[in-house]
């Protein structure tokens, strides 16, 4: 069983705080890691696809880094705003004979308070 | 919005009922997926369709029966479900017939299913 672990499970921060959370995965046979943002009652939306060790990607105030040798990725949010409140999911791309797929972590639930 | 719609958004059914969940994608994608999310668990892949053919069935009980009549539509037919099947069911689609490593999945908002 392939485990994709995310920590912390939940996080409460104040508006303006910067925050980060972690996605850990097995480092062998790495192909790609996906980050998604999922607001309550909406569809999960893709943030980043990361494929190379040392990758750093940025979208506005959100950025992500990747370390494939040690098997982790960090997601950073700078100057959190209430609209950043959501669950952030990471997913590991798995290559299988039966069809490629994404294996998801349980997510980090972020609440940004005024 | 992501271009993937699901109906209904909420469904309550008894254990003897038969119902269907519908998913439609307006993105011209070639692969579609059903996921299940139970409380405090990660998204679990149930079925994968590529070019309208089923390519993955993750040991899902036969009381769940998928159907993909064309590349834009995906159904999940439900019959004689159990209360433990209550969950959020998400549909997704992706561009390539076989999911490539850099290929993003686009998700619908899900159907919240309650089995009484």
Note the pLDDT of residue A66.
97
Q: Is the pLDDT of residue B45 over 90?
A: yes
Note the pLDDT of residue A98.
66
CB contact under 8 A, A100 and B109: no
Chain A: nearest CA to B70, how far in angstroms?
Answer: 19
Note the pLDDT of residue A1.
62
The pairing of strands B10-13 and A33-38 is: unpaired
Q: Is the pLDDT of residue B112 over 70?
A: yes
Tens-digit pLDDT profile for residues B78-98: 999 999 999 999 999 999 887
**Phi/psi at B85 (5° precision):** -80, -5
Q: Is the pLDDT of residue B51 over 70?
A: yes
Q: Is the pLDDT of residue A96 over 80?
A: no
Which segments of A1-114 does DSSP mark as H helices, in order? Answer: none
């Amino acid at each position: 069983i392939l485990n994709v672990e995310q920590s912390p499970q939940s996080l409460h921060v104040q508006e303006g705080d910067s925050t980060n959370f972690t996605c850990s995965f097995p480092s062998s046979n790495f192909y790609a890691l996906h980050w998604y943002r999922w607001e309550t009652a909406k569809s999960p939306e893709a943030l980043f696809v990361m494929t190379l060790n040392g990758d750093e990607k940025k979208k506005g105030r959100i950025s992500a880094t990747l370390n494939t040798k040690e098997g982790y990725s960090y997601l950073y949010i700078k100057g959190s705003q209430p609209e950043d409140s959501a669950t952030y999911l990471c997913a590991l791309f798995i290559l299988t004979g039966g069809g490629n797929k994404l294996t998801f972590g349980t997510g980090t639930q972020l609440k940004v308070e005024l | 919005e992501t271009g993937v719609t699901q109906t209904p958004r909420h469904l309550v059914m008894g254990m003897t009922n038969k119902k269907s969940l519908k998913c439609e994608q307006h993105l011209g994608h070639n692969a579609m997926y059903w996921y299940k999310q139970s409380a405090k668990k990660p998204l679990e892949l149930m079925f994968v369709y590529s070019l309208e053919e089923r390519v993955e069935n993750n040991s899902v009980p036969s009381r769940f029966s998928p159907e993909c009549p064309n590349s834009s539509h995906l159904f999940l037919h439900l019959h004689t479900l159990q209360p433990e099947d209550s969950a959020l069911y998400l549909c997704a689609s992706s561009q390539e017939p076989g999911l490539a490593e850099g290929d993003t999945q686009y998700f619908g908002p899900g159907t919240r299913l309650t089995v009484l």
